[in-house]
Structure 1
Amino acid sequence: MKRRVLLLGAEGMLAHDILQVFSEKWEVIPRSRREVDVTMETDVQRAVSSLKPHVVINASGYTKVDAAETERDLALLVNGEAPGTLARICRDMGILLVHYSTDYVFDGKKSSPYREEDPTNPINYYGETKLAGEERIRESGCEHIIIRTQWLFGPRGRNFVFAIVDRLRREGSARVVDDQVGCPTYTLDLARATEKLIDSGGRGTFHFSGEGEATWFDFARRIAEKSIPDEVTIEPIKSRELNLPAERPSYSVLSKEKFTSRTGESPRHWEEMLSDFLKRVFEGGVAW
């Protein structure tokens, strides 16, 4: 009999690939926000109690980094309070909870990859809400896996890859910041990493992203080289020129040593992830 996983936030970019990866060995029960609103305790309690999954994967979240500066109540409700409620329900029923967090829990002042035990110090409200969600899960005492990740791209929904390709095709040029360093991550790889952590008995907090590091400018150039046959212009700019409401960490590369130690596998380099993703998009006819 297959193990059962309840996948919350099933309409999202990451959930699309979790469903694909897990369906081979698991009975996956996807639930969209319309079907199970994670901010409604009665919704969550009813779903978990009736479906009795072995694992709950929370792929839902408030992801609008700049809007979070003004939509504070909503961001905190979805990212901070809802995970705590979900964790308490999972604890009471003896269910493993998998939850995703972000590199934005760090302030970016390090010059080497952040480890799981490094002090957190978010510099924007989105990061504060994600950290609050982490803390509520830990405080609940439930069996859990928290995976911090960053710079996600995948075939479902809008993301940086689609945005850059669209801009370059329409206008032939783009201005991209070159003073934020992180690492792009393919949602398919993150989904596989999630399954590996569950199967290896990993519990607690782990980091996962692509291997290597890049600026958004580096990322944009590679996207253009691999997907735009025409000559285009990508101009490097500084973050302050965008005048965005939320500050971003200047360096937020994540160390994956703990993940590798637990699973015996290392993440692929982000450029390999990108190449595979673009091949999947072009061969699969995904609409840009």
Structure 2
Amino acid sequence: MKILLLGEHGQVSRELQLCLAGQAELIVRGREQLDLADPQQIRQQVRALRPELIINAAAHTAVDLAESEPERAFAINATAPGILAEEAADLGVPLLHYSTDYVFDGRKAAPYTEDDMPNPLGVYGRSKLAGEQAIQAVGGAHLILRTSWVYSLHGRNFLLTMQRLLQERDELKVVSDQIGAPTWAGSIAAVTAELIGHWRAGQAGPWGTCHLTARGQTSWFGFASAIAEQLRAQGKPVARLEAIPSGAYPTPAQRPLNSRLDCTRLQRDWQIQLPDWHDALLECLASPRRGLQ
């Protein structure tokens, strides 16, 4: 099977390259080979390659930067997914696309379900929601997988930032009133491979939108505390952590206070079992960095 994977250097894409190696003919495209802000390039490459499955793991994910460059964010996060959906439908192949908890405003008291009304707070969330809507409007076979708080052993993410700052500073202040599920990119890739396996075996669940995060919940402060605990277990000195409210750490883009996503649909319709966030963190830290530098 020929799979076109977009987002060569992204966290999820890098883990997908490891998970899917040897299982399919994997054609990987990064921004150097394909500019997702150029619709004509997208159409030309998809038509030339004629993949049997398209996985869009590429996105403009710089949440704060998106506030100052909305046109680029919408080109990559909204227009490009719609074009990919059109080309996938023309080929008669499925599209797997990753979205985000940022499509919600975070004001709900309980975890968000797929049926809850989106209400993004900033440019990033609005652009990702527009991408979802563009895919849905095409009507072809697709899975939109919403996830949250993605981290891994490569790229730029909370885990690596905390590992560095905890060892560089004596004291570190971390937001404690934003709640979600830290989700390892390796878990996302493993679930994606499982979904592909179900589809290829003729056991696909309903197409549409599903939430995909680790089980459980914590705050950014709780996540940082778990990272600090693992550093201490290695005998490394770490900074003292102080919990602060979001208002004490202003950012250009507002973050949702509640990023919890209900993953019942994925478990029920696709028979997917998701790991607890703390277990996944330990698995991530124990995993080799094979080819990820």
TM-score by length of 2: 0.93
Q: How many residues align?
A: 284
Alignment pair present for 1:215 and 2:213: no
Structure 1, 97-106 or 47-56: larger mean CA deviation: 47-56
Deviation at 1:173, TM superposition (A): 2.5
Match of 1:132, SS state, is helix
CA contact (8 A) 1:167 1:173 kept: no
Give matches, 1:75-114, under 5 Å: 75-114=73-112
Change (3 A) 1:10 1:285: closer
Which one of the candidate residues 146, 152, 155 is aligned to 2:153? 155
> Quick one: which amino acid aligns to residue 78 of structure 1?
I
Partners of 1:174 and 1:238 in 2: how far apart?
Answer: 13
Q: 1:10 to 1:172 in 2, by over 3 A?
A: same
- Secondary structure of the 1:66 match is helix
Aligned-pair distance for 1:155?
2.1
Report deviation, 1:232: 2.6
Taking only the aligned residue pairs, the percentage that are identical comes to 37
Match in the other structure for 1:170: 168
State the shift of 1:198 in Å.
2.9
Q: 1:269 aligns with which of 255, 276, 279?
A: 276
- State the alpha-carbon separation in 2 of the partners of residues 62 and 231 from structure 1: 32
Aligned to 2:252: 245
Alignment of 1:195-206 (within 5 A): 195-200=193-198, 201-202=204-205, 203-206=207-210
Distance 1:35 1:286 in 2: 19
Displacement of 1:240: 1.1
Aligned mates of 2:224, 2:129 — CA distance in 1? 28
Counterpart of 1:182, as a letter, is G
Structure 2: distance between partners of 1:44 and 1:195: 24
> Of 206, 227, 230, which residue of structure 2 is paired with 1:226?
230
Alignment correspondent of 2:131: 133
Of 59, 62, 67, which residue of structure 1 is paired with 2:60?
62
* Shift, 1:284, TM fit: 6.5
Letter in 2 for 1:256: C
CA displacement at 1:285 relative to structure 2: 10
- Check whether the contact 2:231–2:237 (CA below 8 A) recurs between aligned residues: no
Alignment partner, residue 73 of structure 1: 71
Render the CA deviation track for 1:248-269: whole Å, top value 9, x for unaligned.
1111201111111123232100
Q: What is the DSSP-based 3-state SS (H/G/I as helix, E as strand, rest coil) of the residue aligned with 1:205?
A: strand
DSSP-derived class of the 1:5 partner: strand
The match for 2:118 is: 120
Give the whole-Å Cα distance in 2 for the aligned partners of 1:190 and 1:270.
Answer: 12
Q: RMSD of aligned C-alpha atoms?
A: 1.6
Which blocks of at least 5 consecutive residues in structure 2 are unaligned?
199-203
1:271 is paired with a residue of what secondary structure?
helix
Choose from 11, 31, 35 the match for 2:33: 35
Is the contact between residue 10 and residue 32 of structure 1 (CA under 8 Å) also seen in structure 2? yes
Structure 1 CA distance for aligned equivalents of residues 171 and 28 of structure 2: 39
Mapped contact 1:38–1:86 kept (Cα < 8 A): no
Alignment correspondent of 2:184: 186
The residue type paired with residue 122 of structure 2 is N
Query: Where does the alignment leave 5 or more consecutive residues of structure 1 unmatched?
Result: none
Deviations 1:168-221 (A, max 9, x none): 111133111001001000111101111222333131101001100010000000
